[in-house]
Structure 1
Amino acid sequence: MTIRTDFSVRRNTTMPLTFTVLDAKGRPHPTLKHLDSAILIIRLMSGDTITVPLSVKHGGVGTVLTAEQTRSWTWRWARYEVAVEVKGIRSVIYEGNLTLDNDLGA
């Protein structure tokens, strides 16, 4: 099941991201120990791709985007996917649009 949702990230700001992993009935999955890997894939309009590894967090998979990491990002809009791999099978669990907002000082 792929969930479509759009969100934004503020450049030059530290931001935690968590994506809830749901079971076949749409409820939060009780255990994530079966995941081999999870990744956030950001596809820019220029054709470039940014990949961010995700780790198991309480309630899902996630990461913390740091201010240092987002400081050099100059794009405004991108498509993204969150993909998980279980026993060699890759599935996209989230997809949508990702907007990069300027930091407050810009």
Structure 2
Amino acid sequence: MEMNRELIVLINARLVGTDPQYHRQIVSHELRENAVWIGAQLHGKDGTATIRTVAALLHVSPSTVSRWFQPGEFERECEYLSHAFKADGSLKPSIPGRGSGTGNDGQ
């Protein structure tokens, strides 16, 4: 099946938007969040989470990951979130009734 060029442009505009800079910012923000969670998981497993390791897993340059964070921020965020992971790298189960903040404490 061959698609009309105008239809492809319209679909792309609806999915990505007409502002590529906005799209790049969204992708960058999502990758930054992924970097923190991957780093936290690695830190929770064996205590090591490096920008180089996370960059390799995200298929980006280490300098790209470095630009997403202020000095020391990556390590602090990974350390903070690492408590959510078990030693095998899996997430710890949440405990019902323990400050979910939703008002619904699992009952």
Indicate whether the TM-score tops 0.5: no
In the superposition, the TM-score normalised over structure 2's length comes to 0.21
More helix by share: 2
